[in-house]
Structure 1
Amino acid sequence: MSIPAVRLNHAVLFVADLQRAVDFYTSAFDMEVAASEPRANAAFLRLTHGDNHHDLGLFGIGADQVKRPGIGLYHLAWQVDTIEQLEQARLSLAEHDAYTGESSHGATKSIYGKDPDGNEFEIMWMLPREDWGRFEHEAPVERLDLATEVSTWSGVRTAGTIAR
């Protein structure tokens, strides 16, 4: 029997400096602190335009506890609704000195970055389902021509709604 999950609800990261991580995510991703737990040196953040209780949990463990690289999480992927929002994300990451690259995976277009602790993340936009074509079962890593993608897909919303 499989689990009927409808989405990944939130992710939790261990960070060296809790306040530095909170400052980064609230600024770069327009998040707000939904809750904090000082006894655990933790903060729970939500996207300001979302309706989730929290999208990201951060637990400060101190720089002396950081051991990289290791087995575990490679990156988080944040989905945006329009290709213009992906273009805006690239600019925002550059402003935060967090931009690390970009690529096209066929059905998805991606910008990459990392937070102050080196946790990597992806910000991605997905083509409309009916336009996946040969990318239904492929995920190439190709050069992203964001200007052409914006011209082609301007105004197309693809994030959809989440089942309740």
Structure 2
Amino acid sequence: MTVNAVRLNHAVLFVADLERSLAFYQDAFGMEVVAQEPRANAAFLRLPRSGNHHDLGLFGVGAQPPRPRGAIGLYHLAWQVDTIEELEQARTTLANLDAYTGESSHGATKSVYAKDPDGNEFEVMWMLPKEEWGAYENAAPIDRLDLPGEVRRWAGVGTAAELVPVPAP
């Protein structure tokens, strides 16, 4: 029997400087601090449009050498936006924060990538409408992203609501 999970609820990161990381995630995503635990040097943040208690936990552990890219462990987190225009705005925001590292098309998803102040990589992605996945339903290519072209094609199309869970049988 498997675990009957619906989706990943939140992520928790170890960070060198809690205040620096709080400022970054507030500036990048508009997150609000919903709880702090001073004894653990921890804070819990919620996205502005989230119905979740918290979407991200941060635990300050002090300066440490960065983990080399490709080392065992978490590669990146992916934050979903509702529209392709929001993805375009995310790219601008992340570039303005000097955090932007690249972008790609994965067929059914369009993505921009960035790093937080500790080098934790993350993705901001927009998903095509499910009925448009077609050949990408069981594929995840890594192709060049033509974001202006995608904005022209998909302007105003929201897809985040398609993630409403279906009750288990």
Q: CA deviation at 1:66?
A: 4.0
SS state at 2:72 partner:
coil
In the other structure, the counterpart of 2:8 is: 8
In the other structure, the counterpart of 1:115 is: 116
In the other structure, the counterpart of 1:129 is: 130
Moved over 6 A (4+): none
CA-based RMSD of the aligned residues comes to 1.2
In the other structure, the counterpart of 1:34 is: 34
TM-score (norm 1): 0.96
Paired residue type of 1:127? L
Q: CA deviation at 1:162?
A: 3.1
* 2:66 and 2:119 in contact (8 A); partners too: no
Paired residue type of 1:162? V
- Write the distance in 2 (CA, Å) between the matches of 1:150 and 1:119: 28
SS state at 1:71 partner:
coil
Paired residue type of 1:8? L
In the other structure, the counterpart of 1:50 is: 50
- Write the distance in 2 (CA, Å) between the matches of 1:67 and 1:109: 28
* 1:112 and 1:122 in contact (8 A); partners too: yes
Q: CA deviation at 1:67?
A: 4.6
* 2:82 and 2:158 in contact (8 A); partners too: yes
Q: Deviations over 1:87-126 (max 9, x none)?
A: 0000000110000000000000000000000000000000
Q: CA deviation at 1:157?
A: 0.7
TM-score (norm 2): 0.93
1:59 aligns with 2:59: yes
- Kindly, what percent of the aligned residue pairs are identical? 71
In the other structure, the counterpart of 2:76 is: 75
- Write the distance in 1 (CA, Å) between the matches of 2:95 and 2:135: 32
Paired residue type of 2:24? F
Q: Deviations over 1:51-94 (max 9, x none)?
A: 1110000000000x445123211100000000000000000001
